[in-house]
Amino acid sequence: MADEAAARAELGKYVRTYLDDGAGVLVLAGLPADRDSGERAVSRATSLIGAPLPQNREGTLVREVKDRGMSISQRGRTRYSDSRLGGDLHTDGAEAALPAPDVFTLFCVRQSEWGGALQCLHVRDVERALEPGVVRTLREPFHFDRRGDQQPGEAPTTTKPVLFTQRGRPAITYLRSYIDQGHDRPDVPPLTVRQRTALDALDALIGSSSALLTGKLREGELALFDNLALLHGRTEFRDEPDHTRLLLRTWIRRTIEAS
């Protein structure tokens, strides 16, 4: 128990320094780069930070992030993590109702030889750069497509703002195509001109921001991300027949208090 408490306190210190007060990401290196070790690593980190959250209606706690030959332009249950395409900065759980996952982890089992670099943009840089009127609009409700993950009888969209507050801190939830597809449904009002203008302004900022951080996880590295604060994405990647990119992911509800 003492070792467990010490490990939780040590990781908590780094989480507060790098996630709460820093760039929103912490990378731990030097772990064995195989799937079993990766699953143990993400599960251990998750248990030290808080509680694991299911990532779909089936209750998956550790999900493989890899190219399944899909695209988020497709309807149905396809997710960003099922494709090799880049861009589309977003937050995890954008298809689900609030509260959003506080943290998500990524463990790199195999990295692509071409592409696949992570890209991140912090919510503080978003709010600082956008016009006040745009920020106000992004704090109003939007319909996000549920990607077919709703339970029987539930609505196919969830309604929530893009910018909000969670755990007493500024937060963001976003994936533009999920909003567009949510408002394209026949039983949902279309986006207003004001809403579309605000989303376009956010997309323009994402595409041009000098604050965008880019880096590529190496095999055997475990990254922890502040999912409330960071928009993230990746550059397009390409698999080789004998070497396919594979990351492992968990979602976390934090019990370690923010600083």
Domain that residue 27 falls in = 2-254
Q: Is the dihedral of CA 12, 17, 22, 28 positive or negative?
A: negative
In a domain, 240, yes or no: yes
pLDDT confidence of residue 6: 92
109 close to 222: Cβ distance less than 8 angstroms: no
pLDDT confidence of residue 1: 56
Q: Which pair of structure tokens corresponds to residue 106?
A: 């990524």
Separation between Cα atoms, residue 52 and residue 60, nearest integer Å: 10
pLDDT confidence of residue 183: 97
Separation between Cα atoms, residue 69 and residue 92, nearest integer Å: 20
pLDDT confidence of residue 83: 85
Q: Is the dihedral of CA 131, 135, 138, 140 positive or negative?
A: negative
Q: Which pair of structure tokens corresponds to residue 103?
A: 């943290």
In a domain, 38, yes or no: yes
In a domain, 73, yes or no: yes
Domains held by the chain: number? 1
Give the position of tokens 């396919």: 244
In a domain, 259, yes or no: no
pLDDT confidence of residue 84: 87
pLDDT confidence of residue 46: 97
In a domain, 111, yes or no: yes
Q: Which pair of structure tokens corresponds to residue 180?
A: 């567009």
Q: Tell me phi and psi for residue 136, to 5 degrees.
A: -60, -40
Ranges of residues in the chain whose predicted pLDDT is under 50: none
pLDDT confidence of residue 73: 63
Separation between Cα atoms, residue 31 and residue 107, nearest integer Å: 9
CATH number at 98 reads 3.60.130.10
pLDDT confidence of residue 145: 96
pLDDT confidence of residue 258: 66
In a domain, 56, yes or no: yes
| Tens digit of each residue's pLDDT (9 = 90 or more) over 218-247 | 999 999 999 999 999 999 999 998 999 999
In a domain, 86, yes or no: yes
In this prediction the pTM is 0.93
pLDDT confidence of residue 76: 64
In a domain, 15, yes or no: yes
pLDDT confidence of residue 230: 97
pLDDT confidence of residue 202: 97
